[in-house]
Every structure is written in C-alpha cells, then in structure tokens.
Chains A and B, each alone.
Chain A
C-alpha cells in the first residue's frame, strides 16, 4: 500500500458507506456487507440492480452520474462507490 492509498482510506466517509449499505441491505435482506466485496460477482445482487443503485446514488448524494461514469467496476464494491461519490461531491464544491 502506498501513501496515496493510505490517504484515500483515511478520507473514507463512513456515512456514505452506511447509506449505501442500508440501500443494498434493504434490497437483499443481508445486513453485513464487506466494503471490498464485489456485489455483482458475489451474486449478492444482479447487474440489473446497477440501474437502481445509480438512481439511488444520484438522488441520495445529489450528484450526477454521466455517460463517462458508466462502468460496472465503479459501482462494484461499497468502497469504490464511496470513492466515486466522494470524488463527485468534491468536484461539485
């Protein structure tokens, strides 16, 4: 792990994690989700859920998901979603 990664981890906003986990949990009925678990590959949700997830993220965090952002990998883990939301919110400031 390099210094940049370390810095990223210290900047993780736990509230974003909580809200995203709550949304996914409500859909799946599973409360415990590892923040690094690939929610699509693990079978926790199917890929169709990505549309609901992106719609939720836009509304919940008041950000815009653009065509350039359309990569399933970006939304594949709680941790990556947090990074994406944090970056979008920062760029909106």
Chain B
C-alpha cells in the first residue's frame, strides 16, 4: 500500500481538472498537469494562476498563492503523459468517451509504478469498467469532484466492484488532506449525483425546446423556489454542454432506458458549437 502521497498527476486540463489542480495546490500537494492540447495548457496556466491568487476572496480558508516561482516549483504543466511516471496518485478528468479513457488508462498502466492508484473523475462511466481497462482494477476508484473543487467540502467517491480497501484508505487520506468529507457509494453508471442531475439538466433543455420557458426563467424557479445555488441550465453551461451530452449518451447506452435520451436541442447546440461557458455561449451568452 502506498504510504505517502506528495505529487499528483492530473490528466485533463478542462474546467474540472483546473479546479482540482488548484485545490491540490492550495492543500500543499505538487501537481503534474497533463493535456494533449497546447491551447488548453496555455489557458490552464493563466486560469490556475488567477484562481490561486483570487479564490481566497470566496473562501477565507484558502490561502492565496501569488508567488509565481512557488507555482512553477510545484506545478508542472505538460503535454507529455510520460511526465506522470513519478506521481504518487493519478486523477483523470478527460473527455467522457470510453475509447479515449480506455487508451489513456492502458498507457497509465505502463507508465505508473505498480502501487499507484488511479482515480477516475468520470461523469458516468462505471468505475468497474474503467478498472477493467487496466491490470490493476483493485487500485481504480472514482472520485467525483464537483466544480469548482476548491470550494466543495464533500465529494462522492465510487467503489468499483474490485476496488480494494487499501485504495479506499489512500483516497480517504488524500481527500481528508484536501479538507473534504467523502460519501462512499457503489458503482453503477452515473453513480448517485450524475444519474439524477443529468435528468434535471436534460429535462430543463426539453422545457426550453418546448418553449415552455426561457433559460433564465427555468433557472430562476430552481434557485428562488427550490433554493438551489444554480439552476440546471447554468449548471449545464458550466459543466459544458458537450460533456452533458456525452454523459447522457453513456447513461442511455448503459441503462437502455429512454429517460436518458439526449434532448435534440442539446444535441443541436453542441453540433453548432454552443458548448456553454467555456466558449462563452450556451444557454446563456458570456462576455
């Protein structure tokens, strides 16, 4: 069993990955961030720097990191997957596509030391299935970090059919060092959070498609009547409409239940490049 986790390999520099990187840096870990897109890495460096400086305004428990040399010494941003070879733990946040994840995990399996655990920060794909992409299924676990990770004190952790108690213990230690409480659940596609939340987001898209209400009004009802911090459509925009669509596709494929069929409006928006906040247009437009 791994004794000490100091350096974490984070794969995928999308929205969720960047939040996780900042969270880890705020809590004293070193990070190797890998993405195969140079553009994503350039954007990542800027956003990480801004978040490390400014996030404490939102949560006073976080201590600002404004020293560029400290950031440079603790964060390695790279397009080379091989650079995670000395990492003590891996957190994967890549696109919700089975073929991409399978190829990645097979490479990680050969790059990382035998005792290293892999945490899939996947949206919906079964952790047991991901474990099957590797030769170390007992060391694969799901950690469903929410966005932005550094503001969340609770995290859904998914135990695959073969995930060992040691892997759960390492994960618990890591998350406790990040000041998080974990809720351990069993493994079925979408787990608890996304299996429910994606139905909300998908149905909200149907409501807009049916011209029952405008996006702002749908969200207003959820925020002001139900007391949610964010409405389903602004949440979908934040996650990325492509990610939401891919997750719905995984849920649909997995359960073969029509309640998970993706709303045609959502598909059309993704096809038209309206991917949400990350491209400044989705259900809302952003500056």
Interface residues of A in 45-80 (CB under 8 A from B): 46-48, 50-51, 54-55, 65-67, 70-72, 75
> For A14, what are the chain B residues with a Cβ–Cβ distance below 8 Å?
none
Interface presence of A84 (CB below 8 A): no
State the interface size on chain B (CB cutoff 8 A). Answer: 20
- Of B54, B216, B223, the contact of A51 (CB 8 Å cutoff): B54
A55–B54 alpha-carbon span in the complex (Å): 9
CB–CB A51/B230 < 8 A? no
- Whether A72 pairs with B57 at a CB distance below 8 angstroms is yes
CB of B97 to closest CB in A, whole Å = 27
CB–CB A47/B64 < 8 A: no
Asked if A65 meets B287 with Cβ closer than 8 Å, knowing A29-B216, A46-B229, the reply is: no
A29 touches B287 (CB 8 A): no
Q: How large is the interface on A (under 10, 10 to 19, 20 to 34, 35 or more residues)?
A: 10 to 19
Q: Roughly how many angstroms separate A61 CA and B159 CA in the complex, as a whole number?
A: 49
| B53 interface residue per 8 A CB criterion | yes
**B66 proximal to A (CB < 8 A):** yes
Tell me if A50 and B229 are in contact (CB < 8 A): no
Q: In the assembled complex, which residues on chain B have CB atoms less than 8 Å from the CB atom of A50?
A: 54, 57-58
Tell me if B58 and A48 are in contact (CB < 8 A): yes
Chain B, residue nearest A66 (CB): B66
Nearest CB in chain A: distance from B279 CB, A? 14
Query: Among B53, B55, B148, B216, which residue has its beta carbon within 8 angstroms of that of A65?
Result: B53
Contacts of B229 in A (CB 8 A): 46
Q: Is B54 touching A54 in the complex (CB atoms < 8 A)?
A: yes
Contact B216 A43 (CB under 8 A): no
Given A26-B287, A27-B286, is A70 in contact with B223 using a C-beta cutoff of 8 Å? no
Q: Is B82 an interface residue (CB 8 A)?
A: no
Which residues on A sit within 8 Å (CB–CB) of B285? 26, 29
CA gap between A29 and B51 in the complex, in Å = 24
Q: Taking the complex as formed, is B50 at the interface, i.e. its CB lies under 8 A from any CB of chain A?
A: yes
Q: Mark B54-69, 1 if CB is under 8 A from A, else 0.
A: 1111100000101000
Interface status of B284 (Cβ within 8 A of chain A): yes
Chain B residue nearest to A49 (CB atoms) is B58
A23: which B residues are within 8 A, CB to CB? 287
A25 to B64, CA, bound (A): 28
Q: Closest A-chain residue to B286, C-beta based?
A: A27
Q: How far is the CA of A55 from the CA of B285 in the complex (A)?
A: 19
Q: How far is the CA of A16 from the CA of B45 in the complex (A)?
A: 28
Q: Select B58's contact among A26, A51, A66, beta carbons within 8 Å.
A: A51
Contact across chains for A70 and B216 when beta carbons are under 8 A apart: no
Contact present for A54 and B223 (CB under 8 Å): no
A51-B55, A67-B66, A70-B57 known, 13 other contacts, Cβ within 8 Å: A23-B287, A26-B287, A29-B284, A29-B285, A46-B229, A48-B151, A50-B57, A51-B54, A65-B53, A66-B66, A70-B54, A70-B64, A72-B57
A/B interface sample: 25 pairs, CB < 8 A: A23-B287, A26-B286, A27-B286, A27-B287, A46-B229, A46-B230, A47-B58, A48-B148, A50-B54, A50-B58, A51-B51, A51-B55, A51-B57, A54-B50, A65-B53, A65-B54, A66-B66, A67-B64, A67-B66, A70-B54, A70-B56, A70-B57, A71-B57, A72-B57, A75-B57
